[in-house]
Structures are given as C-alpha cells and as structure tokens.
Amino acid sequence: MIVTRNLTKVYGDIRAVEDLNLEVRPGEIFGFLGPNGAGKTTTIRILTTLTKPTSGNAWIGGFDVVSQPQEVKKMFGVVQQHLSLDRELTVWEVMELHARLHGLGSRERRKRIAELLDYVGLAKQAERRIGELSGGMKRRVMVARALIHHPRLLLLDEPTVGLDAQARRRIWELIRRLNSEGATIFLTTHYIEEAEALCHRVGIIHRGRLIALGSPLELRLRLGLAAVETLLDDRVHYRYFPSKEEATAYVQSLPPEVKMIVVRDSNLEDVFVELTGRKVEDGEDTEG
Amino acid sequence: MVKILKDSYSVWWADLRILKSLWQRFLITSLTSPVLYLLAFGFGLGRGIEIGGVSYIEFVIPGIIALTAMNASFNGAGMKLNVDRLFYKCFDELLMSPISSLSIILGKSLIGVLRGLMVSSAFLAIGLAISSTRITPLFGLTLLLTCFTFSFMGVLAALLAKSHQDMATFSSLILTPMTFLGGTFFSLRDLPGWLKMILHLMPLVHSSRCLRAEALGRSFPWASFLVLLAFGIAFFLVCLSVLKRSSV
C-alpha cells in the first residue's frame, strides 16, 4: 500500500528523513515509532503530498506522491497531529465540506456523514460548532472526516497526542475497528504502549533513519522477552534474557549489595533504548 | 472546467456558511469606516468645495466605494485564509484534497469578492440617497473587477504571511498608503508628474478613476480599466505560483 525507496528530506543542515525504505502491506496497522523530531511527521507530510522529498520516491497504491498527487490524494484519509478544523463551522459542516471536496453527491453526502458521525459517536453533536467540542471529540471529528471518501489507507499522525486515557482508548478502539473492516493504517506515535497495543508491525525511526522493523514481538525477541532492572552504585542497570526462567536464574546469582531488582517483560521502549541509548520521550534535537 | 468551478464552489461554500451566520454584524462593522470617511471628508472638510465642476460629496462617493471594495475584499479573503492557515491549520486539508490549485485560489477569493460587493453596494445605496451618483453596467463591471483584484491580493498576502503580524504589516505598508493616496479623497490631476507616476502604480487609483468617471458621466478611462485588469491577473497568477511552490 505504501512503498518508499531511499526517501530523503533535507532542511538546510538537517536531514529530517534519510534513505527511508519502507513497505506497508495492505490490511495491516503499521506504526512508525520514534521521539518527537525523529522524522515521523515529515514522512507523513511527504506521503500526503504536502512536502516534496529532496530525493528518493514514495508510492501510495502504486501512485507516485510527487508526479501523481491527485490520484494519491484520493487513496488516503489523514488525521494530522495538530487539530486542523475550522472552529467556526459545525461538525456537520466540516464533514460536508470534506465530502464536497471529494466529489460526493448530495444524497450520498447526507447518508455518509450521518453514518460516520454515528460511527464515531458524535451523531448528537452534529450541529455544534467545533470550538465548543472537547479535545477527544475534535479528534474523532478528524477521524470521521478522514473516512468520508472510503479511503483504502488511513494516515494517522500521533492520533492520541494530548488526549486523556479514556479518549485515547476510544480512538484505539476506533482504529482497531477500522482495520478489522479492511482499512490499512499507517500511524506515527511516540507512545510505546500505543505501538504495542495497536500495531501489527512497527518501524523505529531515529534521527530520520529507520533503525529497526518488525512486529512488536519480533523486536522484543531480538533483545530478549524478559528484562531485569537492578540498582547498583546509584545507577539502574538493564539486562535482557530470552525467558523469565533465565532472568530469574540471573537474579539469584546477583550479589547482596544490589539494592533493587525488578523482573518484568521487555517492551519497545527497551528496544529503542538499546538501539539509540536514549528514551523515546527524550525527543530529538531536530524538527520533523 | 466544470470540475474546477464545482471545486471552487466547494471551497467557497464553507466560507459562505460562516458569512451566513454573521452577515449583519459584518455589514455594520465594515460600513463604519466608509461612513466615517463620508462624514469627515464629505460633509466636514469638503463642504462647499468643488472639484472639476462637481461638488466634493459627488466626487468623493465613488472613491469611497472603491476604497470600501478594496478593504472588504482584501480582508474578506485574506484574513480568513490567514487564520485558516496559521491558526486553525485547516488549509492543509484543502491542499490534501483532490482539487486543483486553481480551484483553491478561486474558491478562497470568492468570499472576498462577495464581502467586497456586499459592503460597497450597501455604501452605494447610501451614496445614491444623498447624491446623484450614476450606476451603469461599466460601473458594476469595474466594481466587480476591483473586488476580484483586491481579493486575489488578500489571498496572496495570506499565502505569503508567516504570522498574523505579517498581515497587519502588509495592511500598514500597502493598504494604508492606498487609502490616503489612491485618488479617493483628492484628484491626482494637479500633483507633480513624478508623484503622479508613483501613485499610478496603485491599483486603487485606477479603480477610483473608472468608478468616478462612470458615476459622474464622464468618458470612461479604458487605460485605467486595463491596468486594473492587469493587476488582477498578475495577483491571481502569483497566487497560483506561490501555492504550487508552497510544498517544500
């Protein structure tokens, strides 16, 4: 559904995306995991035709994003990281504008908008102005809007950023439901639990480069499924083992001066830290 | 062509919905300045003055109509687009829709044209009540062209602006000089040649000349009409070029 070959975007001295080679398969939820500034949003902007790559290529559904932008635009629906809604319009009007832009006829528009507002649980809010809605509701309007033209691909840039736990769960349910109904989903996130909870495959991006690719389980297996944290000399040390049994055996061999011992499942945060030496939440020095 | 027009209407449609809900407030606030100009310059300073054989009030009304069309069109198209781009960030949604740049520019300009026509027509109604201003098809055509020209200018300013302050700066540096030097309140005829030449670079000068000529029943300055048309086409083409180059 999405293919990129040596995709690169350079802003001045900053290489926001570098030699990105990626393939997102139809029907999967693919997560692009990385800290703020790693190049996730730049990649989305290139895929959505808002930004031209410096070099390399990207295709959506076989169409080149640079030379065939109109065909590409019909393929995807997008939910941007920031709120991108005209706050002076009502929920229905936002939906209707988007339906018109995608060429839906009058009867089809009405039916589709009613259907989608019901789908995202906003049917009763249809006549309310966007400015009057909560953050979670606005995000759901954006999801509904992105679906208006039955896109085969949904691009979600940090879909739950800034939302409370309940609103986040609601968006997750929505994403799973959309995927189960056939939509391919490409999402970017810097939330580890989001990538683990939702994605069939995850690409880890760091300083514009793809540094690991696989299912959450595959990525953890490379490191070890069990993690042991120990506090020694005022520093936390991490060790990884293929199984809990091996981790437990290691713990039993530790000297008595080790103050704290935690045995737990490893996660994608561990994978990221091992690969980059920093945490996902730390962010990057660059924009992107 | 049909698709371009249909898509332009779709872009325009959203702005029309907003205007529909606040048109009375818009009309009252937009008429405040021209009515104050009429009172201050027409009835205050200009009382008893004649220019070129007509009373000052007859002279100034077509100029204020041009000025009103300029401000309402520029702000009507530019300010909303500026907010959409930089504050609401919903302009990207248009860029990611399968519609042409041409439709986006036309659609975003049409709201400025409509706002310009609404306010200038309302002021024209006041003008007709207190003067013998003539309305002719050429008067209407010039007014429409004025609205389109300044609407495109507003869209261009909004596309180039990197902040809300940039729009205010553009207004101060471009619109304010035109307001006072664009042939609205005095005739350019007796000005020194070099100054006249500079002032003729302002599209408002040509709009005022055309509207005034028709309103007062004088021969129509076709050269000015063509210059105004050229400004309109130029602003439109630059808008298109800026929008096409905007994806960096």
* B209-230 as b/e: b if 16+ CB within 10 A: bbbbbbbbeeeebeebbebbbe
pLDDT reported for residue B141: 97
CB contact under 8 A, A86 and B88: yes
pLDDT at A288 over 60: no
Instruction: Give the residue carrying structure tokens 């809605």.
Output: A133
Let me know: does A192 contact A266? Beta carbons within 8 Å: no
Residues 6+ apart with CB under 8 A from B206: B200, B221, B224, B225, B227, B228, B231
pLDDT reported for residue B7: 94
Please check whether residue A127 touches B, CB under 8 A. Answer: no
What is d(CA B175, CA B44) in angstroms, rounded to the nearest whole number? 24
pLDDT reported for residue A280: 63
pLDDT reported for residue A28: 95
Weakly modelled stretches of chain B, pLDDT under 70: 247-248
pLDDT at A92 over 90: yes
* Interface residues from chain B to A (CB-CB < 8 Å): 6-7, 10-11, 13-14, 17-18, 84, 88-90, 92-99, 247-248
What is d(CA A98, CA A139) in angstroms, rounded to the nearest whole number? 15
Looking at every residue in chain A, the average pLDDT score rounds to: 89
pLDDT reported for residue A233: 77
Mean pLDDT, residues A264-279? 85
How many residues in total does chain A contain?
288
What is d(CA A110, CA A106) in angstroms, rounded to the nearest whole number? 6
Distances (CA, A) of A73 to A21, A46, A47, A77, B11: 21, 12, 9, 8, 16
Give the pLDDT confidence of B82-123 residue by residue, as tens digits. 999 999 999 999 999 999 999 999 999 999 999 999 999 999
- The C-alpha of B210 sits at a distance from chain A's nearest C-alpha, in angstroms, of 37
**ipTM field:** 0.87
What is d(CA A228, CA A248) in angstroms, rounded to the nearest whole number? 9
Extract long-range pairs of B163-170: CB within 8 Å, 24+ residues apart. Answer: B163/B86, B164/B82, B164/B83, B164/B86, B164/B87, B167/B78, B167/B79, B167/B82
pLDDT at A6 over 50: yes
Mean pLDDT, residues A220-246? 87
What is d(CA A246, CA A239) in angstroms, rounded to the nearest whole number? 11
Distances (CA, A) of B4 to A39, A113, A206, B77: 35, 24, 42, 19
- E strands present in chain B: 50-51, 54-55
Q: How many helices (H) and strands (E) does chain B have?
A: 10, 2
Query: Which of A86, A141, A150, A153 is the best residue to mutate to test the B interface, defined by the most B CB atoms within 10 Å of its own CB?
Result: A86
Instruction: Provide the residue ranges of all domains of chain B, joining segments of one domain with +.
Output: 2-244
Residues above pLDDT 90, as percent of chain A: 58
What is d(CA A167, CA A173) in angstroms, rounded to the nearest whole number? 10
Give residue A26's pLDDT band: very low, low, confident or very high (50, 70, 90). Answer: very high
Q: DSSP readout, A138-157? A: HHHHHHHHHTTT--SEEEEE
CB contact under 8 A, B96 and A74: no
CB atoms within 10 A of CB B62: 29
Closest Cα in chain A to B80: A86
* CATH classification code of A2-215: 3.40.50.300
What is d(CA A191, CA A36) in angstroms, rounded to the nearest whole number? 10
How many residues in total does chain B contain?
248
Q: Are strands A29-33 and A55-60 parallel, antiparallel or unpaired?
A: unpaired
Question: Taking Cα atoms as reference points, which of B189, B172, B178 lies closest to residue B228?
Answer: B178
Under DSSP, is residue B214 helix (H, G, I), strand (E, B) or coil?
A: helix
CB contact under 8 A, B247 and A102: no
Instruction: Give the residue carrying structure tokens 């200018």.
Output: B153
- The C-alpha of B118 sits at a distance from chain A's nearest C-alpha, in angstroms, of 21
pTM: 0.86
Let me know: does B115 contact B26? Beta carbons within 8 Å: yes
* B109-145 as b/e: b if 16+ CB within 10 A: bbbbbbbbbbbbbbbbebbeeebebeeeeebeebbeb
Instruction: Provide the residue ranges of all domains of chain A, joining segments of one domain with +.
Output: 2-215, 219-282
